[in-house]
């Protein structure tokens, strides 16, 4: 079952696209790339060489980390980026730190979804 990020109450998502922070219910709009990045470049758990990408850190805010801070990373969750036409741009699974980086082509609005 595919859910939008905003539908998950106990989880906090930190989205970063090109250095800008977005809340879980906002779409990221990016400028047109030059040169264009390839949508087939794939996703990775470390920042890609691509000019444009969406970075996500998935945290469970209902749990405390070992250092006492709120939010424990959630690994092994598939995240998918879709464009404003609902076409899949890329997807990947969060790493041990709850992070994933998904290359995008830029120049549009994107939504991050997750599979439950």
Give the pLDDT confidence of 23-32 residue by residue, as tens digits: 333 444 555 4
Q: Which domain holds residue 34?
A: 2-115
Q: Of 57 and 7, which is predicted with more confidence? A: 57
Residue 60 confidence (pLDDT):
92
Residue 7 confidence (pLDDT):
35
Cα separation, 28 vs 72, in Å, equals: 24
Q: What's the structural domain count of the chain?
A: 1
Q: Is the sign of the CA dihedral 81, 84, 88, 90 positive or negative?
A: negative
Q: Of 4 and 10, which is predicted with more confidence? A: 4
pTM: 0.59
Percent of the chain with pLDDT over 70: 59
Q: How many helices (H) and strands (E) does the chain have?
A: 0, 10
Q: Of 75 and 45, which is predicted with more confidence? A: 75
Tell whether omega for the bond before 63 is within 30 degrees of 0, i.e. cis.
no
Cα separation, 72 vs 63, in Å, equals: 6
Per-residue pLDDT averaged across 85-95, rounded?
94
Of how many residues is the chain composed?
Answer: 116
Triad 23, 104, 24: Cα angle to 5°:
10
């Amino acid at each position: 079952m595919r859910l939008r990020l905003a539908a998950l109450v106990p989880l906090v998502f930190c989205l970063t696209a090109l250095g800008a922070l977005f809340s879980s219910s906002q779409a990221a709009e990016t400028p047109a790339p030059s040169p264009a990045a390839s949508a087939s470049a794939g996703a990775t758990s470390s920042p890609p060489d691509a000019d444009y990408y969406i970075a996500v850190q998935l945290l469970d805010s209902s749990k405390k980390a070992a250092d006492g801070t709120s939010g424990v990373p959630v690994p092994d969750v598939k995240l998918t980026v879709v464009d404003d036409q609902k076409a899949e741009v890329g997807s990947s699974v969060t790493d041990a730190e709850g992070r994933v980086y998904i290359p995008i082509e830029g120049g549009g609005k994107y939504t991050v979804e997750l599979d439950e």
